[in-house]
Amino acid sequence: MQTLPLPEADAATKATIKDWLARFAACVREVDYASAYPFWHDAIVIFGTFQELVRSRQAWTDTQWDNVWPRTEDFAFDLANTEVLASPDGAMAVAVTPWTSTGFHEDGTSFPRPGRATIVLARQPDGRWVGVHSHMSLGKGVPQDSHGSRPVKAR
């Protein structure tokens, strides 16, 4: 049985999604929840390190963002190794992307904290992309706990 090729996004969609990832990563680095909220659907469904299944952006903020963003630094998606798939009608896209960050042991020493993410995005009637699902996980063997302490810039 022959399968169709992967539904790779066209160059414009790929560039738009990579820009979305870069702008969202800046919010994570700044621990700026308020600026990050518009990137995500209010009723998002996610999987994360601290919760198996979370429904709603507010629950995600409370259970995942609060446990990660202030405790890590230097978050960035590896855009050079990001793949973007898209539905033929351009209504949905999926970013498959590695990411990097810095974590901190209890004694304050830093360690590399890489991982990977799958983010499903839906195009809104106004043309902007909104995340409707995220599954982020740490790389194999990376400590789950990080003990950094940065303030939240804006809720």
pLDDT in tens, 12-30: 999 999 999 999 999 999 9
Q: What percent of the chain has pLDDT over 90?
A: 88
User: 54: domain CATH number?
Assistant: 3.10.450.50
Q: Phi and psi at residue 70, in whole multiples of 5°?
A: -70, -15
- The residue range of the domain holding 65 is 11-138
Q: How do residues 122-149 score in pLDDT, each as one tens digit?
A: 999 999 999 999 999 999 999 999 999 9
Q: What is the number of structural domains in the chain? A: 1
Does the pLDDT value for residue 4 go beyond 90?
no
56 domain residue, yes or no: yes
The whole-angstrom distance between residue 147's C-alpha and the CA centroid of its chain comes to: 20
- pTM score, two decimals? 0.94
145 domain residue, yes or no: no
Q: How do residues 91-109 score in pLDDT, each as one tens digit?
A: 999 999 999 999 999 999 9
Between CA 132 and CA 110 the distance in angstroms is 32
